[in-house]
Amino acid sequence: MLWNDTQGLKENMGYLLDKVKADRPLVHQITNFVTANDCANMVLAIGGSPVMAIDQAEAEEIVSPASCLVLNLGTLTSDRVTAMLLAGMQANRLGIPVVLDPVGAGASSLRTRSAEQIAKEIKLAVVRGNGSELRALAGLRSHTRGVESAMDLRQAPFAKQLAEQLGCVVAATGAQDVVTDGRRSLLVNNGDQWLTRITGTGCMATALVGACCGVSNDYLLAAATALTIMGIAGEKAAGDAAEAGNGTFRTKLFDHVSCLSSSELKLGAKIVME
Amino acid sequence: MLWNDTQGLKENMGYLLDKVKADRPLVHQITNFVTANDCANMVLAIGGSPVMAIDQAEAEEIVSPASCLVLNLGTLTSDRVTAMLLAGMQANRLGIPVVLDPVGAGASSLRTRSAEQIAKEIKLAVVRGNGSELRALAGLRSHTRGVESAMDLRQAPFAKQLAEQLGCVVAATGAQDVVTDGRRSLLVNNGDQWLTRITGTGCMATALVGACCGVSNDYLLAAATALTIMGIAGEKAAGDAAEAGNGTFRTKLFDHVSCLSSSELKLGAKIVME
Amino acid sequence: MLWNDTQGLKENMGYLLDKVKADRPLVHQITNFVTANDCANMVLAIGGSPVMAIDQAEAEEIVSPASCLVLNLGTLTSDRVTAMLLAGMQANRLGIPVVLDPVGAGASSLRTRSAEQIAKEIKLAVVRGNGSELRALAGLRSHTRGVESAMDLRQAPFAKQLAEQLGCVVAATGAQDVVTDGRRSLLVNNGDQWLTRITGTGCMATALVGACCGVSNDYLLAAATALTIMGIAGEKAAGDAAEAGNGTFRTKLFDHVSCLSSSELKLGAKIVME
């Protein structure tokens, strides 16, 4: 289905969420050990099926039946990069979309170089990162402080340029999320400051992008849908956690992703077509 | 204690749970990074004491004081297999039971070969897997899709055959669990579909099998007890989570394993001797 | 600020907690995969910013902008030790405090030797461990059973001696925590038996020590503040979990660390200057 206005876009987002639940896409994640459990549980919460594997020896075999491949550079090792390249090339050969999360690009040359190498050698569907990570990936000077982003409210033009440069959808998350394929851009205004109070919400958002790309080849729509779901769930969980704290927020975030219906998604989406 | 009927079996299950709490068995797990935290917390929830270590250099030392060794093939690497073999052989020398979870056997040749090698070189107490993993371990054609099982309601005869082939207890989990040593078979009808909505419930069940094998050399009883506990806790957590979602289910699963008394276990067990 | 009596100490602890929330110290943790997620979330809960990286290739780069480096020996590998030494030496060059958690020292020679090597080659700010781990680090005979401590109510004199030997603060946790720099000693009587029912509370306490050392060079104060926060949060979570169980305790532990105000800290602290 095509979408030309916000209403059509929201209809498509609801349809895509229902399709994830119907198709249960298998999402292979080569990822870090800090948030791996959260990323697997997020794929399950939205309705997909996660698989995780890191050894080069099985990278190609594991990705082959998958609906999507997610490459996440957290707690990266040199060996891991080789497995990512092997899995990514196999995914490219089979037409399986590849989503990259360049965690910590700009914070070390290992991360920056690896992100660049993957973006160069693998045809990507979506890159999801924060402002400073994407800036590093673009070859611009970046000051990634640990794994946090310097917020940049003017990142829309930059994201567009990077999308053209990489030939893929760029999903830049922050106070406002920007999703763009270089021609069309969507601004997602869902989310809550609470999402920065627990670890891994960026990784989890990328895992959701993976699940959505597993059922649609409109990757702009898929990425925007995933970020909107994460944002709405974050808003709801923030309400539950206000009187409780970080542990409750985390638990409720999974609750709300798992319970969100397509009609709630359409109602709650604060999305603008630029 | 011997058990010849369902009532005697349930009495023994209650006794075994009390013994775990009294003896606090040390369970060494060589396992994956996705569910390691959950597996450690499950061992604690039932009353045991977990230890995790993966380096070949310490495999033999760490397992030596343990009451049980659990080998879990999730996020496997070639190095890890060597550590598993070293720890497993030391466990065999010392009479410490070894429990294998062949995560992803059938999904890659690394997993299938490693599971076969471990089953060949190590004397196992219990193998706990889903239908397709066990099929792969038996050398049969398997279609493991990621880490999920193709449910097979007729897996009892197959499990019996595999138990004879491997000379150990086979615990095949699914909608109905089958636990067999090749001669005697037990069917566990506890559990809930909710257990498939979060990651790692298979790994966690294996961790509980490890804790139970740490206090009894009746491994058939131990495996059935562990799966029944997981099933009852899953049923209770499903009730709590119905109006909430996946995050709450996960939290409550640990709550109910940790609170289950031996009398509740005996009352709640839906177990059939075949 | 100096502190010469218990009241002054508590004032400083409150001030330090507020400073963590104001400064958001970046805490680089080279740590194990079992509790990494919990350790990252604890740093966030107290108000800091976590970053995790393990590869030797990026060890020096990642630590350079950090406020503190935490080295945790859980699920240790030989490669990991090299990364720890590189990061530790860089931290020493830049005046960044280094906190060591010798998880499992005494349980294998890899762990004991690595802990000794790190303590010898790196100038440490704080070592946080249980009685048997610290005993092993001191070169004394130790019977570390897995990752658990043999409680030792008379560990104060030993901790003092070790602090002098290592030239750093020693934080020995158990039923009563002892924090000492060899000259001054503080006894922390907060905490609850519930803290031993879930995995990783020792690692999490060390992560909190790291966050506190990131904003103060009074490491004795910093370590005592962190352990007191963990203890008070544990007491509160135990109240919440009494009717629920282990899963709820874990969730509430994060809630209470994240919500604890400096005035609640000062009121709840059960601390004695020896």
Provide the chain B residues 71-100 that lie in CB contact (below 8 A) with chain A.
74-78
Q: Inter-axis angle of helices B109-121 and B78-94, to 10 degrees?
A: 20
Mean pLDDT score, C124-147: 85
d(CA C52, CA C70): 10
Give the pLDDT of residue C143.
Answer: 61
Contact indicator for C216, C181 with CB cutoff of 8 Å: no
> How is residue B105 written in tokens?
């056997």
End-to-end CA distance of chain B: give it in Å, rounded: 20
> How is residue A231 written in tokens?
């944002």
Contact indicator for B223, B212 with CB cutoff of 8 Å: yes
**A99, β-bridge pairs:** A70, A126
Contact list, B252 vs chain C (CB under 8 Å) = 247-248
Contact indicator for B113, B78 with CB cutoff of 8 Å: no
Give the pLDDT of residue A4.
Answer: 87
C-alpha radius of gyration, chain B, whole number:
17
How many other C-beta atoms are found inside a 10 Å radius of the C-beta of residue C78? Answer: 12
Q: How confident is the model at residue C8 (pLDDT cuts 50, 70, 90)?
A: very high
Instruction: Give the residue on A whose Cα is nearest the Cα of B143.
Output: A65
Instruction: Give the residue on A whose Cα is nearest the Cα of B146.
Output: A51
Where are the strands (E) in chain A, listed by range?
A: 26-30, 49-52, 68-72, 98-101, 126-130, 169-173, 177-180, 185-188, 271-273
Q: Say whether C199 sits in a helix, a strand or coil.
A: coil
Instruction: Give the residue on B whose Cα is nearest the Cα of C79.
Output: B55
What is the DSSP track for C92-119?
Answer: HHHT--EEEE-TTBTTBHHHHHHHHHHH
d(CA C211, CA C230): 12
The answer to whether the Cβ–Cβ distance between A55 and B77 falls below 8 Å is yes
d(CA B266, CA B228): 10
**C189-C190-C193-C197 Cα dihedral, nearest 10 degrees:** -130
Task: Summarize pLDDT for C222-274 with one digit per residue, the tens.
Answer: 999 999 999 999 999 999 999 999 999 999 999 999 999 999 999 999 999 98
The answer to whether the Cβ–Cβ distance between A108 and C62 falls below 8 Å is yes
Give the pLDDT of residue A156.
Answer: 83
The answer to whether the Cβ–Cβ distance between B254 and C244 falls below 8 Å is no
**A167-A173-A175-A177 Cα dihedral, nearest 10 degrees:** 50
The contacts of residue A1 (CB under 8 Å, 6+ apart) are A8, A11, A12, A15
How many other C-beta atoms are found inside a 10 Å radius of the C-beta of residue B172? Answer: 27
Give the pLDDT of residue B144.
Answer: 63
Choose the closest CB to A146 out of C26, C33, C45.
C26
Structure ipTM: 0.95
Choose the closest CB to C37 out of A37, A244, A248.
A37
Instruction: Give the residue on A whose Cα is nearest the Cα of C79.
Output: A77
Category of A135 on φ-ψ map: left (φ > 0), alpha (ψ -120 to 50) or beta: alpha
d(CA B171, CA A80): 33
C250 — contact with chain A (CB < 8 Å)? yes
* Residue C230 CA from chain centroid, whole number: 10
Contact list, A55 vs chain B (CB under 8 Å) = 76-78, 110
Choose the closest CB to B51 out of C37, C76, C146.
C146
Contact indicator for C57, C235 with CB cutoff of 8 Å: no
The answer to whether the Cβ–Cβ distance between C246 and B254 falls below 8 Å is yes
Amino acid identity, residue C256? H
With tokens 């449910």, the residue in question is B151
Contact list, B253 vs chain C (CB under 8 Å) = 247
Question: Which H or E run contains A235?
Answer: helix A219-241
Provide the chain C residues 95-134 that lie in CB contact (below 8 A) with chain A.
none
> How is residue B64 written in tokens?
């030596």
B139 — contact with chain A (CB < 8 Å)? no
Choose the closest CB to C50 out of A110, A111, A199.
A199
Choose the closest CB to B107 out of A54, A62, A251.
A62
> How is residue C210 written in tokens?
């790291």
CA atoms within 13 A on the CB side of A255: 26
How many other C-beta atoms are found inside a 10 Å radius of the C-beta of residue B11? Answer: 15
Query: Strand B126-130 vs strand A98-101: parallel, antiparallel, or unpaired?
Result: unpaired
Sheet-wide strand order for B177-180: B49-52, B26-30, B68-72, B98-101, B126-130, B169-173, B177-180, B185-188, B271-273
Q: How many residues does chain B have?
A: 274
C167 — contact with chain A (CB < 8 Å)? no
Give the pLDDT of residue A103.
Answer: 98
Task: Summarize pLDDT for C43-81 with one digit per residue, the tens.
Answer: 999 999 999 999 999 999 999 999 999 999 999 999 999
Give the pLDDT of residue C178.
Answer: 96
Q: For residue C148, is pLDDT > 70?
A: no
Q: For residue C141, is pLDDT > 90?
A: no
> How is residue C12 written in tokens?
């400083």
d(CA C73, CA B272): 45
d(CA B172, CA B169): 10
Q: How many residues does chain C have?
A: 274
Contact indicator for C228, C13 with CB cutoff of 8 Å: yes
Category of C90 on φ-ψ map: left (φ > 0), alpha (ψ -120 to 50) or beta: alpha
H, E, C per residue of chain B: CCCCCHHHHHHHHHHHHHHHHHHCCEEEEECCCCCHHHHHHHHHHHCCEEEECCCHHHHHHHHCCCCEEEEECCCCCHHHHHHHHHHHHHHHHHCCCEEEECCCECCEHHHHHHHHHHHHHCCCCEEEEEHHHHHHHCCCCCCCECCECCCCCCHHHHHHHHHHHHCCEEEEECCCEEEECCCCEEEECCCCHHHHCCCCHHHHHHHHHHHHHCCCCCHHHHHHHHHHHHHHHHHHHHHHHCCCCHHHHHHHHHHHHHHCCHHHHHHHCCEEEC
Contact indicator for B41, C246 with CB cutoff of 8 Å: yes
Task: Summarize pLDDT for C81-121 with one digit per residue, the tens.
Answer: 999 999 999 999 999 999 999 999 999 999 999 999 999 99
The contacts of residue B102 (CB under 8 Å, 6+ apart) are B73, B111, B115, B127, B129, B133, B134, B136, B137
Q: Please name which of A35, A91, A34, A82 lies closest in space to residue A60, comparing C-alpha atoms.
A: A91
With tokens 């991360």, the residue in question is A111
- Closest Cα in chain C, distance from residue A34 (Å): 5
d(CA B205, CA A193): 36
In the DSSP assignment, the letter for residue C143 is -
Task: Summarize pLDDT for B109-161 with one digit per residue, the tens.
Answer: 999 999 999 999 999 999 999 999 999 999 886 666 665 554 454 678 899 99
Task: Summarize pLDDT for B209-257 with one digit per residue, the tens.
Answer: 999 999 999 999 999 999 999 999 999 999 999 999 999 999 999 999 9
Sheet-wide strand order for C49-52: C49-52, C26-30, C68-72, C98-101, C126-130, C169-173, C177-180, C185-188, C271-273
Give the pLDDT of residue B151.
Answer: 44
Give the pLDDT of residue B9.
Answer: 97
- Closest Cα in chain C, distance from residue A216 (Å): 31
Residue of B199, B203, B243, B251 to mutate, interface with A, max A Cβ within 10 Å: B199
Task: Summarize pLDDT for B12-60 with one digit per residue, the tens.
Answer: 999 999 999 999 999 999 999 999 999 999 999 999 999 999 999 999 9
Residue of A20, A38, A52 to mutate, interface with B, max B Cβ within 10 Å: A52
The answer to whether the Cβ–Cβ distance between C61 and A197 falls below 8 Å is no
d(CA A164, CA A160): 6
Please report, in tens digits, the pLDDT of each residue of chain A (274 residues total): 678 899 999 999 999 999 999 999 999 999 999 999 999 999 999 999 999 999 999 999 999 999 999 999 999 999 999 999 999 999 999 999 999 999 999 999 999 999 999 999 999 999 999 999 999 999 886 666 665 554 454 678 899 999 999 999 999 999 999 999 999 999 999 999 999 999 999 999 999 999 999 999 999 999 999 999 999 999 999 999 999 999 999 999 999 999 999 999 999 999 999 8
With tokens 């990026």, the residue in question is C58
Kindly report the backbone phi and psi dihedral angles of residue A2, in degrees, each rounded to the nearest multiple of 5, phi listed first. Answer: -90, 160
Give the pLDDT of residue A151.
Answer: 44
Contact indicator for B252, B241 with CB cutoff of 8 Å: yes
The answer to whether the Cβ–Cβ distance between B75 and A53 falls below 8 Å is yes
Choose the closest CB to C44 out of A108, A110, A197.
A197
Q: What is the mean pLDDT of chain C?
A: 95
Provide the chain B residues 192-231 that lie in CB contact (below 8 A) with chain A.
197-200
Q: In this predicted model, which residue has the larger pLDDT, C147 or C142? A: C142
Q: Say whether C269 sits in a helix, a strand or coil.
A: coil
End-to-end CA distance of chain C: give it in Å, rounded: 20
How many other C-beta atoms are found inside a 10 Å radius of the C-beta of residue C141? Answer: 9
Contact indicator for C109, C137 with CB cutoff of 8 Å: no
- Cα–Cα distances in Å, from B163 out to A86, B167, B271? 37, 6, 19
With tokens 């039946």, the residue in question is A65
Amino acid identity, residue B129? G
Residue of A31, A55, A69, A78 to mutate, interface with B, max B Cβ within 10 Å: A55
Contact list, C251 vs chain A (CB under 8 Å) = 247-248, 250-251
The answer to whether the Cβ–Cβ distance between C247 and B259 falls below 8 Å is no
* Residue A158 CA from chain centroid, whole number: 18
> How is residue B100 written in tokens?
């294998």
C245 — contact with chain B (CB < 8 Å)? yes
With tokens 């909505």, the residue in question is B197
